[in-house]
Amino acid sequence: MATSRQKETDRAKLLTRRAVLLAGGKLALFSTLIGRLYYLQVLESDRYTMLAEDNRINLRLVPPQRGLIVDRNGEQVATNQQNYRVVIVSEQTRDLEATLNRLGTLIPVSERDRRRVLREARRKRGFVPVMIRENLSWEEVARVEINAPDLPGIGIEVGLSRHYPHGTASAHVLGYVAAVSEAELTGDPLLELPEFKIGKNGVEKTYDLTLRGTAGTSQVEVNALGRVIRELAREEGQMGRPVTLTLDMGLQRFVMNRLGEESASVVVMDVHSGAILALASNPSFDPNQFSKGLSAKDWEELLSNPRAPLTNKVIAGQYAPGSTFKVCVALAALESGLIAPTYRHTCYGHIEVGDLRLHCWKHKGGHGTLDLYQAIARSCDVYFYEVARRIGLERIAQTARRLGLGTPSGIDLPGERPGLIPSREWKLAVVGQPWQLTETLMLGMGQSYILTTPLQLTVMAARIANGGFMVKPHLARDLAVSDRISERSGQRAQARQQAQPESLGFSPAHLAVVQQGMNMVSNEPGGTAFSSRIKDKAMALAGKTGSVQVRRITMAERLAGLRKQEDLPWHERDHALFISYAPVDRPRFACTVVVEHGIGGSRSAAPIAHDVLIEAQKLAPPRSRQIAEAPPSRG
């Protein structure tokens, strides 16, 4: 009996301990749950509230307006204009293809755009708008809006696109903007916006960061699927800073019109400041096509055009300078001390070098006996063959580099090519052969391996005209510099006037000889550009003609009788060049004209320079009204 009670007592105690343990465990779990809830709802409430808000509110970038580009007179050359685009929301239409077909009866919708819209609609969520076409005309917008009830899901959005009001006239200066490529992504979220575009060439590329501006933000409320419910707040971005060019659009338009159908380039530069007033490369292209989206057909036409409309010939066209280089050779000869201005040599129409005969352009009878002034004025090849032989390659090359040839000028445009001033070491390394005497003689009249750009020839002409001072070409003017000058007009302006440009170390007397020779080219009978002289003495120009062979003439051709240039195919005709500056008495503008396959400098290039320099002097303000100009920082 006692044993039975003892067992029941032990069993009761065991059940009691188990109940206590179970209750303790439940209490511990409940305490942990309470503690966790307290931690989440009280201690971490701010954090989870923020996370919930982040899921509910999206912060989106708003692209800024691109900065304007204006010329020296404030005329807008790159602007932003309203861009109407038609979009479709696929969830709002039962039959996407049928809606696109109806839209196609109102405005042109290409098959390519149609396929793209269908592809994007399948990939994106149904409430996300898909762009069908942009850059709609006002008439197209009106047709879509009037027929809106029959176009479910179709809507019109308004944005901004880059516009170039002068089209082809300024294309090679301004460049263009286009969509960001994958290789151009830098991690900047602004670049990832589908409608954002950046500068791809020209001033648009060089000053892209300045023009780009600062993005704004838009706070929008979205649901769990990401659908926008409403916009909560919006902060507009900061428009890009404007860029003011040294370009004169009046002169630029005149130059482009003057070139007409020629495949040519013209550059006009201030000989003292390096400011570019006109920079024309013809044929050109319409940069608005790139802003709107260039078709594959249009792109192929531009690439296949033999006259290279996409190439900026002023900075990327490399040509032998021909007889325009004789001014450099003359200066090198004078600086060497081996040739005096009175040195005379007789031209019989050719010169013998071993068993090779080098001809003068006036090969029948020659020029007779000439001094240096006359040799420049009449562009005698034989005279400069002899000068080059006397002074040698090294002296010519050294002077050429001091005048700005054979190296990039540093202009604020992308794609500038360096040209080439050859040396003995260069030929041995590149061609694998030693330098020959005949090549020095050919260099004396601007042929052989030498290559220059029209801009480099302009720099050379400017440095001769301004008395041998360093000048660097530039297109953009830093407004911040002008502002600082105006704020401290008393000190800064005076310091600027007193500042002396860097001298290249040429003798003023030697420069005067070359200047007089260039003056005789245009203003004395017998000069190769006398027919293109400016008769108004206050505007008179000085210059130097040049013609460049693009193929070698064989002895067999000479014996058979040379065909006239006009009878040759266009691509076999000589290039025509002319460098110049004006006015002669107080040089202010340097101008270079290169006409591809233009036959002769006096025939096709000099007349263009004549007209351009007259126009430049008419449009230019008096010196007393000139604004101080300086090349801007590219930040």
Q: What is the CATH number of the domain that holds 460?
A: 3.40.710.10
In this prediction, residue 498 carries a pLDDT of 44
On whether the CB atoms of residues 277 and 266 are closer than 8 A, the answer is no
* DSSP of 201-255: SHHHHHTHHHHH-B-EEEEEEE-TT--EEEEEEEEPPBPPPPEEES--HHHHHHH
Please count the structural domains in the chain.
2
- The Cα 536–Cα 522 span in angstroms is 12
pLDDT band (50, 70, 90) for residue 485: very low
Q: Could you read off the pLDDT of 126-177 as tens digits, one per residue? A: 766 788 888 888 899 999 989 988 899 888 888 788 999 999 999 999 999 9
Residue 179 forms part of a structural domain: yes
Angle between helices 96-104 and 111-123 in degrees, nearest 10: 150
Q: Could you read off the pLDDT of 4-58 as tens digits, one per residue? A: 777 677 676 667 777 777 777 788 788 788 877 776 676 666 655 544 555 556 6
Write the Ramachandran bin of 420: left for phi over 0, alpha for psi from -120 to 50, otherwise beta: beta
pTM of the model: 0.82
Residue 80 forms part of a structural domain: yes
Same domain, 437 and 335: yes
DSSP-derived secondary structure letter, 603: I
> Within 13 A of 207's CA, how many CA atoms are on the CB side?
28
Residue 5 forms part of a structural domain: no
Residue 455 forms part of a structural domain: yes
Q: Per-residue pLDDT for 75 more than 80?
A: yes
In this prediction, residue 60 carries a pLDDT of 63
Residue 203 belongs to domain spanning: 60-245
Strands 476-477 and 69-70: unpaired
- The Cα 602–Cα 618 span in angstroms is 23
Q: Which of 241, 267, 273, 243 is nearest to 174 (CA)?
A: 243
If you average pLDDT over residues 374-385, what whole number do you get?
97
Q: Could you read off the pLDDT of 590-621 as tens digits, one per residue? A: 999 999 999 999 999 999 999 999 999 999 86
> Within 13 A of 178's CA, how many CA atoms are on the CB side?
15
Q: Per-residue pLDDT for 323 more than 90?
A: yes
On whether the CB atoms of residues 166 and 253 are closer than 8 A, the answer is yes
Residue 463 forms part of a structural domain: yes
- The Cα 346–Cα 285 span in angstroms is 49
> Within 13 A of 598's CA, how many CA atoms are on the CB side?
26
- The Cα 579–Cα 545 span in angstroms is 7
pLDDT band (50, 70, 90) for residue 110: confident
Same domain, 464 and 346: yes
The percentage of residues in the chain with a pLDDT greater than 90, rounded to a whole number, is: 58
In this prediction, residue 24 carries a pLDDT of 76
Question: Which alpha helices (DSSP H) does 265-423 contain, by range?
Answer: 287-292, 296-304, 313-316, 326-336, 372-378, 381-402
Could you tell me the end-to-end alpha-carbon distance of the chain, in angstroms, rounded to an integer?
Answer: 105
Q: Per-residue pLDDT for 478 more than 60?
A: yes
Q: Per-residue pLDDT for 494 more than 60?
A: no
pLDDT band (50, 70, 90) for residue 411: very high
Same domain, 462 and 607: yes
pLDDT band (50, 70, 90) for residue 633: very low
In this prediction, residue 30 carries a pLDDT of 81
Same domain, 211 and 320: no
Q: Per-residue pLDDT for 480 more than 70?
A: no
In this prediction, residue 43 carries a pLDDT of 65
pLDDT mean across residues, the chain: 86
